[in-house]
């Protein structure tokens, strides 16, 4: 948070431009009742913003790309000394030349395709989103309903990221206005929200607004499970497979609105039975909290030193979660990889069921273990004889739902779809398994098929030198 605060501070300095500053207790052109008045006064009280020498703040003024580059470079301790740049319109005698070159080398700022930077060009709302997302290394992306922010928009992923961070909500529920110039008062609002809980916007994760006793639709649950898994650095496929084995319907509530509690005491969608350390009332009545608890248990299991590790113990490898998944149900003889009485592979073990429900081929059968590696105590608990099990051939299955913006993949599907789903059965362009496809944003979900448990990535492929945009199914990524 400290890094976030410091960088925001430098962004605020952008607002003063190259004119003199005034350390004003207030601004002559800002008064109670104005848009974002409290946010601007908050930042003024924190000595974060200042106005012009004439006492104005200029709430409707804009900020240039050159000013932004200088402030970012200073914040990150980049070289700001005047220098030659790679941009044809930024000479060494320009006040921000060194900052622009340094920020460009660091990958924070970029120019146009014809080699220009446009240092005097005002910053747009879309560019603001890109600057913040890159500088703060934001990764979480929220679903958006902005009709003016399509997947072909350069700022698409960044806008989703600042929305997830509670920094913006757009102009309306359906408009963000990415090409509109950002004003100082708007930027103040972004800053105040990022810095203080009293201004930060509430985020309806996955667009979900809870209603007492009502189950969200299945694709909303798909999104909630996925996002909570990603937050904990767990393959979403694992979390959703556990939810499927525990509660195939993915329901939190009974038809009459009562919380779902099974005969063995399992609560909600993740069938939580170990409630110590968790709020039982919330486990029953809040699906997001119930999912959090289940994910938290899996995460803790993965870190338990009493459980054997698998392979490289890479969290992105599905096989690495074999024993963490076992422990979710219990490290009992019934869940041993081998049948206690025969020594044969135990297909009925809990973790085996979970991995089968993934509906993708994994390499758990290549985990180098035998029946002798598991001893059973009097209480029927498993005594693990090995602390680590390698995988024969070291071949693992990488999660297909942990990719991010700008990652490149190969695809086994027929091509890019115009919408995240298979209906209608259309393609924007066909693709081959040898083509490189670039992901341009986080997962979205199929609103036409409630039973799909995977997600869809916004993506692009090059055609005759131009990008073509569409959606690819995560499950078909190679």
Closest to 472 measured CA to CA, from 450, 463, 432: 432
| Beta carbons of 141 and 164 less than 8 angstroms apart | yes
Q: What is the pLDDT of residues 137-192, one digit of tens each?
A: 889 999 999 999 999 999 999 999 999 999 899 989 899 999 999 887 887 787 67
Residue 466 pLDDT exceeds 80? yes
Whole-prediction pTM value?
0.88
- In 3D space, the residue among 460, 473, 462, 467 whose CA is nearest the CA of residue 420 turns out to be 473
Could you give the 3-state DSSP secondary structure of residue 2? helix
pLDDT tens by residue, 324-345: 999 999 999 999 999 988 989 9
In the predicted model, is pLDDT for residue 23 greater than 50?
Answer: no
Per residue in 254-266, pLDDT tens?
A: 999 999 999 999 9
Residues 71-102 as b/e (b if ≥16 CB within 10 A, e otherwise) read bbbebbebebebeebebebbeeebebbbbbbb
> What mean pLDDT is reported for the chain?
90
* Cα 216 from Cα 445, distance rounded (Å): 14
Banded pLDDT at 50 (limits 50, 70, 90): low
User: pLDDT per residue over 428-440, tens digit each?
Assistant: 999 999 999 999 9
């Amino acid at each position: 948070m400290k890094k976030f605060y410091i960088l925001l501070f430098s962004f605020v300095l952008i607002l003063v431009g190259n004119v003199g500053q005034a350390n004003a207790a207030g601004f002559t052109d800002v008064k109670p009742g104005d848009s974002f008045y409290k946010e601007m006064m908050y930042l003024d009280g924190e000595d974060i913003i200042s106005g012009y020498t004439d006492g104005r703040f200029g709430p409707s003024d804009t900020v240039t790309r050159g000013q932004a580059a200088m402030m970012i470079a200073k914040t990150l301790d980049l070289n700001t000394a005047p220098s030659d740049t790679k941009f044809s319109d930024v000479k060494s005698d320009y006040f921000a030349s060194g900052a622009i070159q340094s920020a460009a080398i660091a990958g924070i700022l970029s120019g146009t395709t014809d080699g220009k930077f446009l240092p005097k060009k005002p910053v747009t709302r879309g560019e603001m989103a890109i600057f913040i997302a890159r500088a703060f290394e934001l990764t979480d992306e929220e679903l958006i309903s902005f009709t003016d922010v399509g997947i072909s928009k350069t700022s698409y992923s960044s806008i989703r990221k600042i929305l997830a961070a509670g920094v913006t909500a757009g102009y309306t529920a359906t408009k963000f206005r990415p090409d509109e110039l950002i004003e100082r008062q708007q930027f103040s609002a972004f800053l105040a929200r990022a810095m203080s809980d009293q201004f930060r916007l509430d985020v309806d994760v996955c667009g979900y607004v809870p209603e007492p006793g009502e189950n969200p639709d299945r694709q909303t649950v798909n999104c909630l499970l996925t996002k909570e898994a990603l937050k904990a650095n767990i393959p979403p496929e694992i979390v959703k497979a556990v939810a499927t084995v525990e509660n195939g319907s993915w329901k939190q509530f009974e038809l009459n609105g009562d919380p779902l509690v099974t005969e063995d005491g399992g609560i909600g969608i993740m069938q939580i039975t170990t409630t110590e350390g968790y709020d039982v009332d919330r486990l029953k009545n809040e699906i997001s909290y119930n999912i959090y608890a289940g994910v938290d248990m899996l995460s803790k299991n993965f870190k338990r030193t009493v459980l054997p590790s698998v392979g490289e113990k890479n969290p992105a490898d599905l096989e690495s979660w074999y024993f963490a998944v076992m422990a979710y149900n219990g490290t009992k003889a019934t869940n041993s990889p081998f049948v206690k009485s025969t020594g044969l592979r135990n297909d009925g073990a809990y973790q085996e069921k979970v991995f089968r429900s993934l509906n993708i081929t994994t390499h758990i059968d290549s985990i180098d273990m035998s029946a002798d590696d598991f001893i059973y105590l009097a209480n029927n608990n498993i005594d693990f004889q090995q602390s680590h099990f390698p995988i024969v051939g070291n071949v693992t299955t990488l999660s297909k739902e942990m990719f991010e913006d700008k990652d490149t993949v190969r695809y086994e599907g027929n091509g890019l779809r115009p919408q995240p789903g298979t209906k209608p059965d259309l393609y924007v362009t066909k693709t081959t398994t040898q083509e490189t496809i670039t992901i341009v944003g986080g997962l979205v979900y199929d609103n036409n098929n409630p039973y799909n448990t995977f997600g869809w990535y916004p993506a692009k492929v090059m055609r005759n030198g131009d990008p073509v945009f569409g959606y690819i199914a995560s499950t078909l990524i190679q």
